Amino acid sequence: MSAIFERISIRKYEKKSVSDEMIKKIIEAGCAAPSAGNQQPWQFYVVKNNEILEKLSHVHQWAGPVAEADFAIVPCYKNEGLWAQEFAHVDMAACTENMLLEITELGLGAVWIGIAPDEARTKLVNDILSLPKDLSSFAIIPVGYPAESHAQESRYDEARIHFI
């Protein structure tokens, strides 16, 4: 799959709108992720409102790209009542990576802005989005047409592989 080897973090975006059809494809890719016991803990908040994007861009010092994006997806998860609650973050990481790969496949750019498991960041984002109590934010994914590019560097390192 070429998107795996083409995906890079994109933090600068063109001032051009992404279609709702593309947004749906990105979220469909997120929903195709594996999850513990197939519990699919996810919900997706799609933020197009510039004031909210601006607020999200200040939740920590590395969240700046959110203010520049056409929109952001905030993948959220059920924080209670799951069959395997302790695996929720792992499920959400798989879901987030799937979306980043689809974003690459569509010729768009994005970056994973880390929120969970940091509790202070999580609360800030939950409050900005007025999430219900049983939902928590996992990450912020600002998305847009890329205004920067470079080739992905190979990180393959034989010294890290151990055959037994």
| Residue 114 touching ligand FMN (CB under 6 A) | yes
Site for ligand FMN in 59-78 (CB under 6 A): 62-63, 65
CB of 164 to ligand FMN, least distance (A): 28
Are 136 and 115 in contact by the 8 Å Cβ rule? The answer is: no
| Total residues in contact with ligand FMN, by rule CB under 6 A | 10
Determine if 143 is a binding residue for ligand FMN (CB under 6 A). no
The verdict on 111 binding ligand FMN (CB under 6 A) reads yes
- Residue from 44, 87, 112, 145 that binds ligand FMN (CB under 6 A)? 112
Q: Write the CB contacts of 68 (distance below 8 Å, at least 6 apart in sequence).
A: 11, 12, 13, 142, 144
Determine how many CB atoms are found less than 10 A away from the CB of residue 41: 26
Cβ neighbours of residue 133 closer than 8 Å, sequence gap 6 or more: none
Query: Does 9 participate in binding ligand FMN (rule CB under 6 A)?
Result: yes
CB neighbour class for 160 (10 Å; exposed up to 12, middle 13-18, buried from 19)? exposed
Which positions touch ligand FMN (CB under 6 A)?
A: 8-9, 11, 62-63, 65, 111-114
